[in-house]
Structure 1
Amino acid sequence: MDTLPDRYLRAARRASTEQRYAQAIAHFEAEWGGLLPASSESVVRYLTHYGDQLTSSTLRVHLAALARWHQQLGFADPTKSPRVRDTLRGIRALHPQPVKQAEALALNELESCIIRLGEELAESTPAVRLRAARDQALILLGFWRAFRSDELSRLRIEHIQLRPAQGLELFLPSSKADRSNRGRVVKVPALKRLCPVAAYEVWLNESGLSEGALFRAIDRWGHVGVHALNANSLSRLLRQVFLRSGVDPEGYSAHSLRRGFATWASENQWSSKALMDYVGWRDVQSAARYIDGDAPFGEWAR
């Protein structure tokens, strides 16, 4: 039976993290044939076996999953061994890999998508019209607030307030950077074009929603689902919009919205502090990973 403490413990852990940790434990046991509880030497052998197959970031996630499994069940944590740390450090040195990042969504590509969705909004088929309204609101909110896919999927209508002539106020109960789950309030400005606030109002009017998850699945008959869209489905949704809009979807994901806004803000002379405060980054290094800096070669450039 599901007890109240169990519910609170689950709430303290992000669903996406839980899924990744479960996959990591399964990989250690079923894929590699490891035994739990594990010794530090078996963890070293595991890392050595996959050192040239998995990225160092993936291996770090697997170590974190193993560490938590042992800690929760009262066993000594084998990942704390100096040999384990040195093995991982050696893997990073011998198998360096560039960090794969989603392409940043440029403003002209964003505009192409919104124009196409605007055309679909004028169609008579309910399902087409509803999807266009939802996708338009999702893309514009995701871009102008630089939301992560999980933040978009967890938006709830009762946590959003419309401020006439100003914009939206959204309460985010939790996010990747909010480990203590204190939540934060963010504002979305009303804009002269590509306006996320107008798109939000259109989606609510078309869908008739007044509470619950903001973004939901829509079936072929135009029925709006009850539950929120899965965060993992947003990249596929975005690429489908790109295809319909004549934009090559190669290299794009839901993270392209976040990177696109960061790049746009940087090109429009936002200071590092202003960008970090707006997006919610806690350090400059996090912000730098999202910005495509162009070296100013001036007349030397071809």
Structure 2
Amino acid sequence: MVNPSEIAQKAASYAEASQSDNTRKAYASDWLVFTDWCRVQQVEALPASPATVTAWIIDTAGKVAVTTQRRRISAIQDMHKQAGHHLDLSGGAFRKVWAGVRRTHGRPPVKKAAFLTPALRNAVNALPDSLTGIRDRALLLVGFAGAMRRTELAAVEVSPRDGANWIEEGADGLTVHLARSKGDQEGAGQRIGIPFGSNPSTCPVRAYRAWLQAAGITEGPAFRSINRHGTLGGDALCDHSVALVIKRAIVAGEIANGAAKSEAAATARRFAGHSLRSGLATSAAVHEVAGHLIQRQLRHKKYETTSGYIQDAELLRKNAAGMVGL
């Protein structure tokens, strides 16, 4: 016989799984911001009236990015839906105010710089031959060649395990098996091929094998923490640490090229965790790799997403103004 309580618990669990962990965390934080505002204004947060949400939009306009406001509106609507309330924001008053806020305060997103092949080559060649340097070299080259997101890179393991991302070594290179990723929320699984590089010093396969040998890793997380004494830990790096590795490598490469520390640090601030992924896409486009091959390596479902990277790479190289004899 079906247990109603058990069914209800399972239903709640599946409903929660319909959103990614990052989305749930962001929505929870956004909802807290809104409820705090409502408490100060002494108005009801749940259920909130369209007038309350409109007033909140007006009060926060220009104080936070429009993209943040958009996400917070979604969070407010999602919380109402979960609580069984219908928050109707289709009325003219809200729509006109929201359109005016977007028009007045909308700004293009600030893109982090792509970690292009020349900069990557400088960076990995400038890394020391310490355990940390060997790890960072492998992480950067595998992450770049695989166009991997920082969350994917941080979570990858060296051997298969149910529900885990892992790297398989083969005669022709590496195969990264992704059990789940941002572009595969339902866990169908994806594979990324990483071939040998033509230059031994920047070959991702050789760098990865050198790291495993130096660290003595045979199972568990591939990229692990190393303390200031050079002692290897057992825990995987967090995705934030991946971004720090990228920035540290940028600084090393810039200094090796003669830049002052302050200049190198300023350059590094332009880069983030996504810079490896965008770097592979843009570098491939610069070298005129076919668009469908770039799309496959990035695992984009829609070519329109890939084309944005290609357009960035071709902004000056394939430009009408440069083809008219000026």
| TM-score, scaled relative to structure 2 | 0.80
Matched, 1:215 2:232: no
Matched, 1:141 2:142: yes
CA 1:300–1:168 in 2, change beyond 3 Å: closer, same or farther? same
Indicate if the aligned counterparts of 2:196 and 2:206 stay in contact, CA closer than 8 A.
yes
Q: Unmatched 5+ residue regions in structure 2?
A: 1-8, 160-165, 256-263
Shift of 1:110: 0.5
Shift of 1:97: 0.5
SS for the counterpart of 1:260 is helix
CA 1:189–1:8 in 2, change beyond 3 Å: closer, same or farther? farther
Q: Pick one of 237, 252, 255 that aligns with 2:274.
A: 255
Q: Pick one of 166, 170, 173 that aligns with 1:163.
A: 170
SS for the counterpart of 2:309 is coil
Q: 1:177-231 CA deviation, whole Å, 9 max, x = no partner?
A: 1122222111111111211111111111122222222222211222333332221
SS for the counterpart of 1:151 is helix
Q: 1:254-288 CA deviation, whole Å, 9 max, x = no partner?
A: 11111211111111112222211221112233223
CA 1:211–1:12 in 2, change beyond 3 Å: closer, same or farther? farther
Matched, 1:26 2:11: no
Matched, 1:39 2:39: no
Indicate if the aligned counterparts of 1:43 and 1:78 stay in contact, CA closer than 8 A.
no
Q: 1:105-138 CA deviation, whole Å, 9 max, x = no partner?
A: 1222111111112xx11xxxxxxx2211221111
Indicate if the aligned counterparts of 1:38 and 1:78 stay in contact, CA closer than 8 A.
no
Matched, 1:190 2:196: yes
CA 1:226–1:32 in 2, change beyond 3 Å: closer, same or farther? farther
Q: Pick one of 299, 309, 320 that aligns with 1:280.
A: 299
Indicate if the aligned counterparts of 1:56 and 1:88 stay in contact, CA closer than 8 A.
no
CA 1:187–1:54 in 2, change beyond 3 Å: closer, same or farther? same
Matched, 1:181 2:187: yes
Q: 1:5-44 CA deviation, whole Å, 9 max, x = no partner?
A: 4776665543322222222112112256462332222112
Indicate if the aligned counterparts of 2:167 and 2:176 stay in contact, CA closer than 8 A.
yes
Q: 1:37-71 CA deviation, whole Å, 9 max, x = no partner?
A: 32222112222222222222211211222222222
Structure with bigger gyration radius: 2
Could you tell me how far apart the structure 2 residues matched to 1:21 and 1:227 are? 28
Shift of 1:299: 7.4
CA RMSD after TM alignment: 2.6
Could you tell me how far apart the structure 2 residues matched to 1:31 and 1:146 are? 40
Indicate if the aligned counterparts of 1:137 and 1:200 stay in contact, CA closer than 8 A.
yes
CA 1:96–1:10 in 2, change beyond 3 Å: closer, same or farther? closer
Q: How many residues align?
A: 290
Question: What is the identity percentage for the equivalent residue pairs of Structure 1 and Structure 2?
Answer: 27
Indicate if the aligned counterparts of 2:285 and 2:309 stay in contact, CA closer than 8 A.
no
Could you tell me how far apart the structure 1 residues matched to 2:195 and 2:68 are? 37
